[in-house]
Amino acid sequence: MDLEEIISEIKDRLNIVDIVSRYVELRQVGSRFVAPCPFHQETKPSFNVNPEKGFFYCFGCQAAGDVIHFYQRINGLEFKEALEDLAKEAGISLDKKEFGKPSVKKIFLYLHKLAVDFFKKNLSSDSGKKARDYLKRRNISALISSNFELGYSLNSWHSLEEFFRKKGITIEDAIKCGLIIRNEKGHCYDRFRDRLMFPILDYQGRVVAFGARALGDEEPKYLNSSESLIYKKSEHLYGLYQAKQHIVKEKSVLLTEGYIDVLSLVEAGFKNSCAILGTSLTKEQIFRLSQLTSKIILLLDGDAAGQKAALRSAEMILSQGLDCQVAILPNGEDADSFLKKFGSKDLTYILKNAEEGLAYCLKMVRKNKSPKEQILWVENFLDKISDFKLKSFYLPKIAYGLGLSESELRQGLKNVSQTQTIRDSVFSNWDKDVLCIAIFSPQDAKILDQEGIKHFLHTRQAQELWDKLIREEDVNFFTEEERSFFIQVKLYKEKQFQINRESILQEVKQRLETKKKCLNRQNLLLALKKAQNRGDQQEVKRILSLLQKKFN
């Protein structure tokens, strides 16, 4: 089977409702199924699954696709990976020529799997005593160390490099994925040396990067993997894979800053804990958390930097419509040091008395900003929110928190929209009508294509989608915007099109002729101007004659 046949066979054998139901609680409404969207935060169900047509579509965020695209997006996979997983589930054998060669991503994942096993073995060896002693001093048990796959990189420049060579690994691949470094002279050496290793896992439990703490005086104290094909710092959270089931059970996530903080929290029984990788929380990280819970509790350091980080993170969480709480630790304490000094009982008390996220933000804004700066902060905060209803929900609360009336706050927010902004399609009404013909009436579309209608579509995106529809490409090869438009039309416009097919076709053909005439006239007028500039009177007369015959 070729690729399109494989895709078609997978969609025939697998029921989209069965696959989606593993991740979302669907409710049947007539012939379709609905649920709150798993791809953005909402309370009312705008996510629709149509088993008859085999598509899903969200009216809120315009996410759309078939069973393969849903599985790919919900699991953060590449298309090929999703295809392989679903083909296996459907009992379809894939062509080894096309799918047998491992992708670069698979090679990188394999190298990280080898590396984590190597580091774990080092930790239990005689050479790893220094790292084990460090963990003992930090009260990290062997069980937690094992669950988080902690390891140790030897105090050697070439131990991992030599290990890879013995395994027959191409060192060039190890360099590309960042585990081995090549200097300006062409010499290779291990990135991590004499460090406690913290593997960073993706949502599926695969090692994609490392955090590493120096055990001596080496700087920096913490050294992290560089970003690569398999690792984007903004998309991952340390400890999330291990915490997933506990987050669902507790209906909340405890978000902290450091690797050791997470381990200490889990050791103390707070198993729904994970850590930000970097200085600030991102939309991608919040999206991952929102698939598990709607409640995020920030537990950050009690110093000035921690308070600033809490403000930035709370803003981001609230802008995505999630419930945010901020638990403030005493100045100079982090989660690990607090637990050691005061224990889990006192931390539980702090968490139970955590401050509501918006109230915390407004308190910090009032404390640190002038009245003018406060208005600017509100404007910037509201600009992060695309949902008009959410903006309207926050506005009176913000006004009250800043000691203003709502009208006073609105007066200061000149750039905040007063009306709901509906996300516009990249396609004009003309483009939509033409593309609908390609979707529902391919034979008519091919005739129009021969008449050059593509060149009269208003945008490059519309022209590219037209080409794909004429070639009858599978929806999985569409862009996100193309897929969203195609499925929205396919699910909700077909009946209307079939009823009005003749009138739509007639109107499109008439408008095409009008557009052709306008273009022809513009071209003649341009040619006339050029002829006049050259002083070519014979050509001027010829063009004027043509204009009179065709357009008068």
Residue 1 has pLDDT above 70, yes or no: no
CA–CA separation, 160 and 141 (whole Å): 26
- Return the top range by mean pLDDT from 27-31, 205-209, 434-438, 542-546: 205-209
Instruction: Identify which of 170, 236, 173 has the alpha carbon closest to the alpha carbon of residue 209.
Output: 236
Residues 71 and 19 sit within 8 Å (Cβ to Cβ): yes
Distances (CA, A) of 458 to 148, 170, 465, 522: 54, 49, 12, 17
Mean pLDDT of 291-306: 90
- The pLDDT of residue 97: 58
- The pLDDT of residue 393: 92
What is the per-residue pLDDT across 467-499, written as a single tens digit (0 to 9) for each? 999 988 888 778 888 888 888 888 778 888 888
- The pLDDT of residue 99: 64
Q: Cα-flanking dihedrals φ and ψ of residue 210, to 5°?
A: -135, 145
- The pLDDT of residue 481: 81
- The strand pairing partners of 444, in sequence order, are none
What is the per-residue pLDDT across 250-297, written as a single tens digit (0 to 9) for each? 999 999 999 999 999 999 999 999 999 977 799 889 988 988 899 999
Residue 154 has pLDDT above 70, yes or no: yes
Binning pLDDT at 50, 70 and 90, where does residue 416 land? very low
Structural tokens at position 368: 């640190």
Instruction: Identify which of 292, 295, 281, 255 has the alpha carbon closest to the alpha carbon of residue 74.
Output: 292
DSSP secondary structure, 310-328, as one string: HHHHHHHHHHTT-EEEEEE
- The pLDDT of residue 136: 96
- The pLDDT of residue 101: 65
CA–CA separation, 281 and 247 (whole Å): 18
What is the per-residue pLDDT across 86-98, written as a single tens digit (0 to 9) for each? 999 999 888 765 5
CA–CA separation, 333 and 354 (whole Å): 16
Residue 504 has pLDDT above 90, yes or no: no
> In 10 A of CB 527, how many CB atoms?
16
The amino acid occupying position 286 is: I
CA–CA separation, 388 and 417 (whole Å): 9
- The pLDDT of residue 303: 85
Instruction: Identify which of 319, 320, 322, 309 has the alpha carbon closest to the alpha carbon of residue 276.
Output: 309
What is the per-residue pLDDT across 421-469, written as a single tens digit (0 to 9) for each? 333 445 677 888 899 999 999 999 999 999 889 888 888 888 889 999 9
Q: What's the chain's average pLDDT?
A: 89
Distances (CA, A) of 402 to 308, 358, 461: 19, 11, 45
Mean pLDDT of 60-77: 89
Residues 326 and 363 sit within 8 Å (Cβ to Cβ): no
Structural tokens at position 13: 């054998």
Distances (CA, A) of 89 to 184, 353, 461: 48, 47, 35
Residue 178 has pLDDT above 60, yes or no: yes
Q: If you count DSSP H runs as helices and E runs as strands, how many of each does the chain have, helices first?
A: 26, 17
Binning pLDDT at 50, 70 and 90, where does residue 529 land? confident
- 67 burial type by CB count under 10 A (0-12 exposed, 13-18 middle, 19+ buried): buried
- The pLDDT of residue 523: 83
